[in-house]
Amino acid sequence: MILFCCEVKPIKAIVSSSISTSSRSRSTRFLYELEVSLRKGIDEYLKSGNQTEELQNALQLLQIPGIFRKEDRVSPFISIPFCAGCNIVASILLAVPRITVKTLLKRFCIWLGVEPPDVCQGFFDVNAETLIYIADNTPHLSSQRICTIVFQFMGCKEFFKHDWTINIPKEKNIKQLGVTEKKRSNLNPINPIKILHLSDIHYDVDYTIGSDAACDEPMCCRPGSQPDYFQNAAGRWGAYRCDTSWEMFNGALDHITSQHDDITYIYFTGDIVDHKLWGTSMRRNTKVISSVLEKLKNSFEGIPIFPVLGNHDPHPLNAYSPDSVNNKSFSSQWIFKLVAEKWQMWLPTETKETILKGGYYTVLVKPGFRIVALNSAVCFFTNWWLIFDDYDPYGQLNWLVDVLLKAEENGEIVHIISHVPSGDFTCFKNWGKEYAEIIKRFSKTVIAQFNGHTHRQDVSLYYKDTTMKHPINIAFTGGSLTTWYGVNPNYLVHHVDPVFYVRSA
Ligand SMILES: [Zn+2]
Ligand SMILES: [Zn+2]
């Protein structure tokens, strides 16, 4: 039985062309030998279940502890270029018989120190099927493409350049369209309206007071765990390595409603489900999402809430499948159906069509003021479906252009809300670049953007050009209600001009 192919070209291709010929050939030879050692070692492991010394030595060179933990990521692959290592591992996984892929994904996750064994097992129990489907159904899939999508933030680039653009019509008569400078100068911040900006709730149904809040897993405070010291016990109102308990969530909403009885709109910028990324299921996520939305409705009776989806809300985690995928184990249709139904508490019926298509919508809140809610979680780097097809998932950016063109023609002011900020390092660059182009083109119509995901309260500026001298747009990132990871829970209240919808305080 042939277990492995012998393709070494990809590895040659990713060795930097800036290094000298002799050191390049040494580097190429080293990588080639590393790949051969790994292939031989994996072959033996699959036959006998034994790890040879050669395999162990090769794995030592590929350690990437905490690579997916943005909070404590260490410099990985100290011995060899990161992308070269990724390319070797991905090419092996593509070449082995499919029946062994799930086992090897788990083994590599453990061997390379990515996460503790229970996390690796649980995560790939859920995700392996999606990855195998993608490997089997993506024409000419290469290891470079996988590394480019998943590890773009580590500088991996596909050797065969792939790029795409969105068709964005040029401006017509700019004096007649959108919000002119003259209109802006008439701002009246005397009686601003209040927009509450909530983000990243990450409700943990299993949060247990007194449990271990300093565990090895990505998220702690699990039932049955015991802290070594009392200082590491999960507190009543939270812990810095844990997500939000129901009690804390309720307390936060009580605080908001007691302090602000004059909120006009609420923007909720996504991520309801907790960080137990190795334990998601459609059933669990549905329960969590439903209870949080119901609680928001009861706490803010009569106030319109405009929600978006986050990368933690689907199951499998982060994965938004194309609408052509019908497999019930990993199609995203279930979450679009769920929120299309639940969000009707606040949204007009006509929003259902695009929510069912890809979790996005637009609402003309009142004449002249429009909200566009995007599912920017599609650009998240471990949305595996970007490997399958990265071109404008769900046609969302093309749709955005159409919406903004109409808004511009009608002289409407637009707020855009979405989860992942387009310039965040976790957002697939092509998607973020085209989104920024759209913002640049419609900067007189889009007055402000509101994001979540980073768990940090900050702002992002969009510039006219690469000189970065002329800011043309702003995005407010809302922080998070969860304390994960190492942050205090927060919410924002934007004081907004009631006519021009520009933030005044
Ligand atoms: Zn989050
Ligand atoms: Zn997120």
Where do the domains of the chain lie?
9-154, 181-207+243-496
Cα of 337 vs centre of ligand 1, distance in Å, is 22
Cα of 59 vs centre of ligand 2, distance in Å, is 31
Mean pLDDT of all residues in 34-61: 90
pLDDT band at 61 (very low <50, low <70, confident <90, very high): confident
Binding annotation: 200, 202, 271, 311, 419, 453, 455
Cα of 432 vs centre of ligand 1, distance in Å, is 18
Cα of 134 vs centre of ligand 1, distance in Å, is 26
Return the ligand number nearest the Cα of 375.
2
Domain 181-207+243-496 = CATH 3.60.21.10:
yes
Task: Return the beta strands (E) in 305-429 as ranges.
Answer: 305-307, 361-366, 369-373, 413-417
Q: Give yes or no for residue 22 having a pLDDT over 80.
A: no
φ, ψ of residue 483 to 5 degrees: the values are: -85, -10
DSSP character for 97? Answer: -
Q: Give the model's pLDDT for residue 74.
A: 47
pTM for the whole thing? 0.90
Cα of 200 vs centre of ligand 2, distance in Å, is 7
Cα of 91 vs centre of ligand 1, distance in Å, is 31
Cα of 245 vs centre of ligand 2, distance in Å, is 18
User: Which residues lie across from 369 on neighbouring strands?
Assistant: 366, 413
Q: Give the model's pLDDT for residue 73.
A: 46
Q: Give the model's pLDDT for residue 505.
A: 55
Q: Is 318 helix (H, G, I), strand (E, B) or coil?
A: coil
Cα of 312 vs centre of ligand 1, distance in Å, is 7
Kindly state the helix (H) or strand (E) to which residue 476 belongs, with its residue range: strand 471-478
Mean pLDDT of all residues in 453-473: 93
Return the ligand number nearest the Cα of 377.
2
Cα of 202 vs centre of ligand 1, distance in Å, is 7
Query: Chain-centre distance of CA 270, in angstroms?
Result: 10
Return the ligand number nearest the Cα of 456.
1
Cα of 420 vs centre of ligand 2, distance in Å, is 6
pLDDT band at 320 (very low <50, low <70, confident <90, very high): very high
Mean pLDDT of all residues in 279-295: 97
Q: Give the model's pLDDT for residue 189.
A: 59
Return the ligand number nearest the Cα of 482.
1
Mean pLDDT of all residues in 340-367: 97
Return the ligand number nearest the Cα of 317.
2
- Return the axis-axis angle of helices 101-111 and 21-48, rounded to nearest 10°: 120
Provide the mean pLDDT of the chain: 89
Return the ligand number nearest the Cα of 311.
2
Q: Which of 182-191, 325-334, 340-349, 439-448 has the lowest mean pLDDT?
A: 182-191
Q: Give yes or no for residue 75 having a pLDDT over 90.
A: no
Mean pLDDT of all residues in 266-293: 97
Kindly state the helix (H) or strand (E) to which residue 83 belongs, with its residue range: helix 82-95
How many residues does this entry show for the chain?
505
Cα of 316 vs centre of ligand 2, distance in Å, is 14
Q: Give yes or no for residue 487 having a pLDDT over 50.
A: yes
Return the ligand number nearest the Cα of 309.
2
Query: Chain-centre distance of CA 420, in angstroms?
Result: 6
Higher pLDDT, 384 or 500: 384
Cα of 453 vs centre of ligand 1, distance in Å, is 4
pLDDT band at 76 (very low <50, low <70, confident <90, very high): low
Return the ligand number nearest the Cα of 424.
2
Q: Give yes or no for residue 78 having a pLDDT over 70.
A: no
Cα of 199 vs centre of ligand 2, distance in Å, is 9
Mean pLDDT of all residues in 417-425: 96
SS (H, E, C) 2-58: CCCCCCCHHHHHHCCCCCCHHHHHHHHHHHHHHHHHHHHHHHHHHHHCCCCHHHHHH
Cα of 424 vs centre of ligand 2, distance in Å, is 11
Cα of 376 vs centre of ligand 2, distance in Å, is 10
Q: Give the model's pLDDT for residue 65.
A: 83
**pLDDT tens sequence across 293-318:** 999 999 999 999 999 999 999 999 99
Binding annotation for Zn(2+): 200, 202, 271, 311, 419, 453, 455
